[in-house]
Structure 1
Amino acid sequence: MPIVTQGLLPSGPWFTVLPDGGSPSPLNRLQTLGGSVLIEHSTGEPWVVGLWPREQIELFSAGSSRVALLGELPPREALCSIRDSPERPDVEQIAKIPGDFFILTARPRELRACGTRSALRRLWYANYAGVTIAASHPLPLALLSGAGLDVERLALQLAFPILPYPLADQCLWRGVQDVSPDAVLVLTSGEVRLEPRIPLPEPSLSLDEGAARVRSAVEAAITARTSRAGTVSADLSGGMDSTSLAFLAAREMPELVTLRHCEADPASDDSQWASLASSSLAEAQHVVFGHEEWPLIYSSLTGPPVLGDAPFRWVRTLGRYRRVVDVAAGHGSTVHLTGHGGDELFGHAPTHLVDLAQRAPLRALREALTQKALRRWSWTATVQVLTDRRTLGQWLSDEAAHLTEPLPPPTVPPGPWGYPIRMPPWASPNALAAAQRLMKHASEVGPLHPSRALHVTWHAARLCGQAVRHVQTLTSCHGLTFAAPFLDDTVLMAALAVRPEERINAQRYKPLLARAMRGVVPDSLLGRTTKGDFTADIYIGLERNRRDLLELFEDGCLLAAHGLVDAATVRRAILAPHPHLRSLIPLEHTVACELWLRAMTSRS
């Protein structure tokens, strides 16, 4: 069943970037799709065309260039150093400004464009009528170029629990190319090239040095959101990430509105920590929902479709994000702060032990023994963690040969470059073969960074950025900015500059963030060592929404129509008992792929 792209537009804002003096055909076609000219070149020709909020566009001249920023913009005074520069501004110079935005620069016969390191802002490009066009979403480019769906790459989206680098970056439309978050797209005189951005910083800072940089970066990221907003809302789940952002935002805007909901499991201590945080934020307005008042896991699957650039990884919480939009907007909020990205940057990931073993073997051994005790590793697994020297390519090739095996238990540590990769038992032979081909081909690509710790952390941040980008697709339709300050370039670079063995410590919970927030968040809150558990929420949501899940895989199942899954096997898995959550992990990705295909079909 082919996907028809004619008349298909992304949900939420989008824009395209056109070169100066090109053919008028792209503009005419984009205008028929509903796009309008947002910014013109100095010659009067269209430069940025699409549907994008005017308040999220900043345009100015600097040196011999015109600069456009689109997204969550910094305070205007932060742009003075760029505006006053007599030289052409460098992308990396602009990227040091707090905020979350696309960077576009134009000068005679040259365009440069990039998104963010976290992949929250991504670019794609394609050729139409002899003109290379960039865009913030692949669908306008697919419409222009007549690109079709890449079914093989969609098959790989079924893989779980986490798609590895570089496979998670691949565009799902044939003929549409993605711009990597670590590259700048350069268009000159009809030529196209991708220039690498400056490398990540070498992780050389101590915990204290890094904490000072992280705090400064997060403070500036919060100011960037509050300086242009009216009312600001924020998650206040009780976790260290959302709590830190709420306290920083309250210093800027005492009228802050916080949102939280209670978990189904009465033994969960998230609510206790959230209540403790609320009591220290006396001037803020706290909105609290009981478990039965908040949407269940797997709810709202049959609601209005949201069409992102790829399947939505957090699909089981889709109904909850819809409710966040309603509640935050109902309280007058235009910006909602979320702590997403905190787990990825500041959480525990033992992949650094291989690198540490080569520099400081005794310290690596001590850390490995601590991890062994906490995670119940066997002695064999502990030794393997310290000695696994496989390259990224070797690891991907090995994983491609084990796609149909059961997922290892939690007591088995991850591989040197990430978690094991598996395909669900309902994947068709064609889908499995496609996944193996793509993984073996990807094994020729090098890692994001020679350090395994930096590679894994940066890739996790990019996956989080992709998911937050999809939430923004939903919230922006209602005039609400879903802001994730931890995913700003400035915060990411500050966190990754800290030595992994100090940023990641099995004996302390998020030591870098806790140190950075001293004096902002009460010490009693920074001393938390637990993390909320949502097992009960997932089981209850599955039980009450089982009918909707089954309907997705009846006769109208699009994944089955494309020959990617056996729908009957999926239905049996939905009806089967699940004694542990690990058996539900593959279902979430499959539901996401089915809903993505349905969103495209419904908007065709």
Structure 2
Amino acid sequence: MLKDTWWLILPDTEAAAALADRLGVRDLDCLRHASGRPWLLGRWRGAEAVTAEAGDARVAVLGRCPLTPEALRARVARLRDVREVEGAVGRVAGSYHVLASVGGRVWARGTASAACRLFTARVGGVPVTAPGADVPAGLLDSAPDHEMLAARLMDPPISWTALGGRTIWRHVRAVRPDEALLWERDGAQRTVRWWRPPAPELGLRAAAEGVRTALAEAVATCTAGGGTVSADLSGGLDSTSLCFLTAAQDEAELVTLRWEGVDAQNDDAVWARRAVAALPGATHLVVAQRETPDWFAGVDGMRLATEEPVAWARDVAKQSDVLERVGAHGSRLHLCGGGGDELFTPSPAHLTDLVRSHPLLVSRRLRRLRFDWRVGRTEALRAVCDRGGYQQWLHRAARDLTASQPAPSASQLGWQPPPRMPGWATPGAVRAAAAALEDAAARCPGPLAPQRSLHAVLSQVREGGNAIRQMNQALPGPRYAIPYTDDAVVAAALSVRPLEASVPGRFKPLLTEAMDGIVPREILRRTSKGRYGTDFYRALRRRRGEILALLDGSLLAKAGLIDPERLRRALRTHASVPELALVTHTVAGEIWLRSVAERPRPWPVQPNGGAR
């Protein structure tokens, strides 16, 4: 979807039609149920939207998708029941919402990766659904939920896309990404599971074929239509693979961009130059250290009109600069390699999944990790043999929010790394975050996958998908695309047997096998990974004054969630590495609260009628 588009789904009822009239349906883009009542309304003309109808069936595919109206119409003509829409459309490459009305019954879903999401609320008794929480929040004149805002201070973040459906807005619920919303003719609402992760049972070669096909098709949806697209070329294997796949499509002109890091030990630049030499048909941009903004640049005056705190708030200045530069070269879409690390570096938790079926092999692999983690044999065995369920993990996470950092074995071999609250969080904020986790444990139907390793990967993928969705709301210029969060790519990557995708001495074997013949083998032989910790801490040092200025009159402090003086001391006295990492979430929350306060109604829909 384009950055300035929005839409709302309504059931096929008289009450919903009356609500549409109050919103000013005549001034909006509108698709109707077969009954003639409004079904989909908002602003999406000129966006990535394909719609079709046949008989009493209407289907809209909104997002990055190769379907033409004619192709979609042929599929829609076969529909006899709304639940058949997934079989007709669901396996098409890309990243998109699928919306359908068949005989007055409504089906709606986003993506399993959370790059496309759905949010619901009841407005005057009428159920409504939108791709962002801000639209139903605007209709309800809703206020932020401070308990959920407190929970957003935790690090690592919890994947709220899976836990209970709570959002940062009161009275607005999120649909779980792997579930679809189903409305009956009378407006009765329920959710249906539409996506499940594959069983991780394919050999490396078979899984790599699936990854190769899915990635190529994902990139093809980005280059379709020609013109110019751009891509990060950091030198890392994930972004490099996307650049070569884009060049191989030969449909769009390619512009690559790399910004120089400050760590002399980071060899990304060496590998990026080798990739550039093998891509002579592309335009290559390199941004020098002195020309690229620091992380955290401009946070003191930053305002972001997004529906929730932006997880990548520290990156806004840098990424805005990237989009401005590639936009000046004609780019309409910018590809980045986010999600590749998560998909192609199996979580160590796969050893916990396999300890019973492959005890000797797990023992050998665990011995290597023990030395890296510097933990004893007993401690590592206790962690790898833990059989606690996900709800138990959530209860423990709620209890341990202020505990010392867990040992690497407990952190890496569990369902996901346990979250911690920052030292500057108030006791009230800690209690609120713990309550949110306990509430999630009570509502949670189970983990994202039966295997801990797949659950951990999906949690990270969904955090990335949701973050890029927010960045596309926040930043001007070309949109972002992350092909590694396309559902088909995620499913293909998760299908491999973890022991084959995690081979000691090999770096991302699944991706290198998939890219053999597309990316030069010299580049695929890379075994190192660039690190940007030096960039992070230099940015904290250089931008400390701007972060401190953001704390003046802190709205998080006024809400009783942080103690600004404790945060100031942490920034001035070189706090520990784990604690400083928590600064990002606090900065994001403060920027968001200020944005909401200064733009009390940034939503496109007014609660009392009319559209902006």
Q: TM-score, normalised by structure 1?
A: 0.93
Q: Distance in 2 between the 1:167 and 1:568 partners?
A: 32
Question: Structure 2 matches for 1:309-328, cutoff 5 A?
Answer: 309-328=307-326
Q: Are 2:175 and 1:179 aligned?
A: yes
Q: Distance in 2 between the 1:406 and 1:12 partners?
A: 44
Q: Distance in 2 between the 1:301 and 1:284 partners?
A: 34
Does the 8 Å contact 1:351/1:452 carry over to 2? Answer: yes
Q: Distance in 1 between the 2:14 and 2:285 partners?
A: 52
Q: Distance in 1 between the 2:497 and 2:27 partners?
A: 46
Q: Distance in 1 between the 2:515 and 2:72 partners?
A: 27
Query: Out of 536, 542, 545, which is 1:544 matched to?
Result: 542
In the TM superposition, residue 311 of structure 1 has moved relative to its aligned partner by 1.3
Q: Distance in 1 between the 2:328 and 2:164 partners?
A: 35
Q: Distance in 1 between the 2:61 and 2:191 partners?
A: 19
Query: Out of 393, 403, 426, which is 1:395 matched to?
Result: 393
In the TM superposition, residue 505 of structure 1 has moved relative to its aligned partner by 3.5
Q: Distance in 2 between the 1:219 and 1:522 partners?
A: 16
SS of the residue 1:443 aligns to: helix
SS of the residue 1:396 aligns to: helix
Aligned to 1:5: none
Q: Classify 1:293/1:356 alpha carbon distance in 2 versus 1 (closer, same or farther; 3 Å).
A: same
Q: Are 2:469 and 1:469 aligned?
A: yes
SS of the residue 1:27 aligns to: helix
The letter of the residue matching 1:104 is L
Instruction: Please say which of residues 384-393 and 520-529 is displaced more in the overlay.
Output: 384-393
Query: Out of 567, 590, 595, which is 1:594 matched to?
Result: 590
Q: Distance in 2 between the 1:601 and 1:132 partners?
A: 27
SS of the residue 1:194 aligns to: strand
Query: Out of 110, 114, 117, which is 1:119 matched to?
Result: 114
Does the 8 Å contact 1:229/1:335 carry over to 2? Answer: no
Aligned to 2:606: none
Q: Classify 1:61/1:431 alpha carbon distance in 2 versus 1 (closer, same or farther; 3 Å).
A: same
Does the 8 Å contact 1:92/1:198 carry over to 2? Answer: no
In the TM superposition, residue 409 of structure 1 has moved relative to its aligned partner by 5.9
In the TM superposition, residue 164 of structure 1 has moved relative to its aligned partner by 4.9
Q: Classify 1:372/1:393 alpha carbon distance in 2 versus 1 (closer, same or farther; 3 Å).
A: same
Does the 8 Å contact 2:32/2:40 carry over to 1? Answer: yes
The letter of the residue matching 2:414 is P
Q: Classify 1:97/1:429 alpha carbon distance in 2 versus 1 (closer, same or farther; 3 Å).
A: same
The letter of the residue matching 1:341 is G
Question: Structure 2 matches for 1:22-421, cutoff 5 A?
Answer: 22-23=14-15, 24-31=17-24, 36-61=28-53, 64-76=56-68, 79=72, 82-83=75-76, 85=78, 87-88=80-81, 89-164=84-159, 166-167=162-163, 170-188=166-184, 189-253=186-250, 255-303=253-301, 305-408=303-406, 413-421=411-419
CA-to-aligned-CA distance 1:74-109 (integer Å, 9 cap, x gap): 253875773564655432542210011100001122
Does the 8 Å contact 2:50/2:72 carry over to 1? Answer: no
Does the 8 Å contact 1:30/1:49 carry over to 2? Answer: no
Q: How many residues align?
A: 590
Does the 8 Å contact 2:175/2:181 carry over to 1? Answer: yes
CA-to-aligned-CA distance 1:334-391 (integer Å, 9 cap, x gap): 1111111111111241011111111111121122122223443332332123211111
SS of the residue 1:181 aligns to: coil
Query: Out of 542, 561, 565, which is 2:562 matched to?
Result: 565
In the TM superposition, residue 319 of structure 1 has moved relative to its aligned partner by 0.8
CA-to-aligned-CA distance 1:91-141 (integer Å, 9 cap, x gap): 254221001110000112211100000001010111112211100111121
Aligned to 1:7: none
Does the 8 Å contact 1:238/1:271 carry over to 2? Answer: yes
CA-to-aligned-CA distance 1:483-512 (integer Å, 9 cap, x gap): 111111111111112122223334321111
Q: Classify 1:38/1:257 alpha carbon distance in 2 versus 1 (closer, same or farther; 3 Å).
A: farther
The letter of the residue matching 1:176 is V
SS of the residue 1:309 aligns to: coil
Q: Classify 1:136/1:380 alpha carbon distance in 2 versus 1 (closer, same or farther; 3 Å).
A: same
Instruction: Please say which of residues 499-508 and 516-525 is displaced more in the overlay.
Output: 499-508
Instruction: Please say which of residues 308-317 and 172-181 is displaced more in the overlay.
Output: 308-317
Q: Distance in 2 between the 1:105 and 1:467 partners?
A: 26
Q: Distance in 1 between the 2:136 and 2:236 partners?
A: 40
5+ residue gaps, structure 1, are 1-9
Aligned to 2:610: none
Percentage of pairs with the same residue = 36
Q: Classify 1:323/1:303 alpha carbon distance in 2 versus 1 (closer, same or farther; 3 Å).
A: farther
Aligned to 1:3: none
In the TM superposition, residue 175 of structure 1 has moved relative to its aligned partner by 1.1
The letter of the residue matching 1:97 is V
SS of the residue 1:601 aligns to: helix
In the TM superposition, residue 274 of structure 1 has moved relative to its aligned partner by 0.5
Q: Distance in 2 between the 1:489 and 1:526 partners?
A: 24
The letter of the residue matching 2:559 is H
Aligned to 2:454: 454
Aligned to 1:513: 511
CA-to-aligned-CA distance 1:274-318 (integer Å, 9 cap, x gap): 111110001100000111111101113245522323211122111
Q: Classify 1:127/1:207 alpha carbon distance in 2 versus 1 (closer, same or farther; 3 Å).
A: same
Q: Distance in 2 between the 1:177 and 1:263 partners?
A: 40
Instruction: Please say which of residues 157-166 and 558-567 is displaced more in the overlay.
Output: 157-166
Q: Distance in 2 between the 1:312 and 1:504 partners?
A: 32
Q: Distance in 2 between the 1:443 and 1:251 partners?
A: 46
Q: Distance in 1 between the 2:214 and 2:579 partners?
A: 39
Task: Give the RMSD, CA atoms, in angstroms.
Answer: 2.3
In the TM superposition, residue 242 of structure 1 has moved relative to its aligned partner by 0.4
Does the 8 Å contact 1:337/1:482 carry over to 2? Answer: yes
Q: TM-score, normalised by structure 2?
A: 0.91
In the TM superposition, residue 450 of structure 1 has moved relative to its aligned partner by 1.3
The letter of the residue matching 1:463 is E
Query: Out of 529, 532, 537, which is 2:530 matched to?
Result: 532
In the TM superposition, residue 55 of structure 1 has moved relative to its aligned partner by 3.4
5+ residue gaps, structure 2, are 601-612
The letter of the residue matching 1:429 is P
Q: Distance in 1 between the 2:355 and 2:410 partners?
A: 19
Q: Distance in 1 between the 2:320 and 2:522 partners?
A: 33
Instruction: Please say which of residues 38-47 and 358-367 is displaced more in the overlay.
Output: 38-47
Q: Classify 1:151/1:533 alpha carbon distance in 2 versus 1 (closer, same or farther; 3 Å).
A: same
The letter of the residue matching 1:96 is R
